Amino acid sequence: MLKHEIPYQTNSAELFAKIADWPWAVFLDSGQPMSQFGRYDIMVANPFVRLVTNGEQTVIVDGMGERSSKNDPFELLKETLSPYRIAKTELPFEGGAIGYFAYDLARRVEHLPSVSLDAENMPQMVVGIYDWALVVDHQLRRTYLVSHGMNGETEVDWPSLCAIFDGPLMQATKADFKISSALQSNMDYTQYGAAFNRVKQYIHEGDCYQVNLAQRFSAHASGDAWTAYLALRDISPAPFMSYMNLGDAQSSLQVLSASPERFLQVHGKHVETRPIKGTRPRSDNAVEDASNANDLQNSPKDRAENLMIVDLLRNDISKVCETGSVCADKLFALESFANVHHLVSTVTGKLAEDKTAIDLLRACFPGGSITGAPKFRAMEIIEELEPNRRGLYCGAIGYVGFDGNMDTNIAIRTAVYSDDEIRFYAGGGVVADSELAKEYRETLDKASSMLKLIARFGGDVNLKASRS
């Protein structure tokens, strides 16, 4: 193993700026120094294997060339990682797979109808296998560059890589970023209301208990997405943030995520998921802010919604955990972020001896906190009522290490920048006693950080509806 200590920087973005333009550069960002929750930041670039899933085909590119397969993408990832095994590591990640799993990858898990329009034009899975990583520990104030030499011939030799991170810091901002159109939604209030009422009808007919209904926002944009991400982490720091510079010679694709929600974590055999359900807006007025938080904590409706999702996730993780090991360790904890208060619960389990983190990911995908209950029927209703497929939104971003450990977020509060357009979604769970005006308002509360981002770079956020 190669290990080199780098001078610690409170703001890890200054370190990542050195490689932000590198191929498939990824920053798994705890939001420090602004976020009160995170501990570790992870930075990688130049993977030695790449997996990209589009529809039924997964293309795998490595040192031996390019091949494609129609096999299950989760199984392909497990097979690709299987030759590279290391023992338990000191740091959370010392090489392995990092990437995203879009919500629409669920079509490879479940047989969903095809009703809504795919306007995202992006792969359903993009994962790189990385031979080195820069890991920042904000608790111990230490930074390490590590590699286990899995590739044999790393694209950047070790002395050069050490010199890059030991060298002078980059400036915190780079090129311009600009929004050049008014923000559009794929549903105006009337259209959202029609979908909302149909969900309520399904609930009263007994089809489901809860459906997460979301709207899609988009605007024309140009310039450097890294600049936009720096603004986002200033506006809305969160513990499961990420920036991903993906794409290829033909196209550019950047992901800017300010997610507050952990999807699945595996450490050894310990499994944890932390679903969010229940939201109130923050206020600059301290009395009003405390009142909003208290209202959320004591809301029977929000607690009931949260409990539905806890039960769903207990069921999902029990598919690959030891019998009797799954339990809800904590219910309805209040967590406060830059723009909203949330109710967060914690469910844990012990991974079965013959199962892996990727088996767990597949068994639980996509996360139940952003589908509804029962899960499959909720997904069918989402496909019917939302005008556009979700793309990355409500999928997952994170890592699966060579040591078998995993940590992933739920890709909410997440924007995709490609084809001269920036796009993001916001939604909320609709249940039997939901009220239209409040649920619509909640989607805007959840989108508030992204709305601030759009406005900061010149966009008009007076929403206009578009079905395109």
Residue 172 placed within a domain: no
Instruction: Provide the 10 A C-beta neighbour count for residue 328.
Output: 14
Nearest-angstrom CA–CA distance, 182 and 290:
34
In the block, which residue shows the tokens 């105006």? 188
For range 420-431, the mean pLDDT: 96
Mean pLDDT within 159-179 = 83
Where is 177: in which H helix or E strand?
strand 177-179
Q: In the prediction, which pLDDT does 1 show?
A: 86
Query: In this structure, is residue 263 part of a structural domain?
Result: yes
Per DSSP, 309 falls in state: H
CA-CA-CA-CA dihedral for 170, 173, 175, 178, to nearest 10: 160
Mean pLDDT of 221-249: 92
DSSP 271-290: EEE--EEEEEE--SSHHHHH
Helix 436-446 vs helix 189-204: crossing angle, to nearest 10:
120
Of 109-118, 192-201, 328-337, the range with the lowest mean pLDDT is 109-118
Count of domains in the chain?
1
Rounded CA separation 243/17 (Å): 11
Kindly tell me if the per-residue pLDDT of 465 is higher than 80. no
User: Is the per-residue pLDDT at 172 higher than 60?
Assistant: no
Q: Residue 209: is its pLDDT beyond 90?
A: yes
Residue 242 buriedness (CB in 10 A; 0-12 / 13-18 / 19+): buried
CA torsion angle for 137, 140, 145, 151 (degrees, to 10)? -60
CA gap 432, 437 in Å, rounded: 14
Domain assignment of residue 392, yes or no: yes
What pLDDT shows up at residue 36?
64
How far is residue 439's CA from residue 446's CA, in Å, rounded to a whole number?
Answer: 11
Question: What pLDDT is recorded for position 90?
Answer: 87
The predicted model gives 397-419 an average pLDDT of 97
Which whole number is the average pLDDT over 422-437?
96
CA distances from 468 to 116, 117, 182 (A): 11, 9, 14
State which residues form the domain around 385. Answer: 2-158+179-465
- Average pLDDT rounded to a whole number, residues 47-76: 95
Residue 166 lies in a domain: no
Q: Average pLDDT in the 88-98 region?
A: 92
Residue 155: alpha-carbon gap to chain centroid: 28
- Mean pLDDT (whole number) for 175-195: 95
Which tokens in the block code for residue 458? Answer: 């010149």
Contact (Cβ atoms closer than 8 angstroms) between residue 230 and residue 172: yes
Report whether pLDDT(153) > 70: no
Q: Indicate whether 55 belongs to any domain.
A: yes
> What angle do the packed helices 436-446 and 448-456 form, to 10 degrees?
50
Kindly state the average pLDDT of the residues 38-57: 95
The rounded mean pLDDT for the chain is 92
Q: What is the CATH number of the domain that holds 310?
A: 3.60.120.10
Closest CA to 266 of 161, 407, 110: 407
Across 326-343, average pLDDT: 91
In the chain, what are the helix, strand and coil shares in percent, each to the nearest 5?
A: 25, 35, 35
Indicate whether 171 belongs to any domain: no
What pLDDT is recorded for position 249?
58
The residues near 361 (Cβ < 8 Å, ≥ 6 apart) are 74, 101, 264, 396, 400, 406, 408
In a domain, 165, yes or no: no
- Residue entry with tokens 């993977």: 47
Taking the complete model, does pTM exceed 0.85, yes or no?
yes
Question: Once rounded to an integer, what is the mean pLDDT over residues 441-461?
Answer: 94
Q: Which residues contact 108 (CB under 8 A, 6 or more apart)?
A: 53, 72, 73, 74, 124
Predicted local distance difference test score (pLDDT) of residue 154 = 47
Confidence at residue 152, expressed as pLDDT on a 0 to 100 scale: 64
CA distance 124 to 109: 12
Half-sphere exposure in the Cβ direction for 344 (13 Å, CA): 15
What kind and span of H or E run contains 441?
helix 436-446
pLDDT band of 468, cuts 50, 70, 90: very low
Contacts of 61-68 with CB under 8 Å at 24 or more apart are 63/151, 63/153
Long-range contacts (CB closer than 8 Å, 24 or more residues apart) made by 296-302: 296/334, 296/341, 296/342, 296/343, 297/332, 297/334, 297/343, 301/431, 301/433, 301/434, 302/277, 302/278, 302/343
Q: Which residues are catalytic?
A: 261, 277
- Alpha-carbon distance 468 to 466, whole Å? 6
The answer to the question of residue 398 being in a domain is yes
> For residue 101, what is the enclosing H or E element?
strand 96-101
Q: Does the structure show a pLDDT above 70 at 335?
A: yes
Cα distance between residue 119 and residue 216, in whole Å: 10
135 has pLDDT over 50 = yes
pLDDT band for 63, please (50, 70, 90 cuts): confident
Task: Find the mean pLDDT for residues 197-216.
Answer: 97
pLDDT at site 173: 53
pLDDT (0 to 100) of residue 343: 93
Residue 74 one-letter amino acid: F
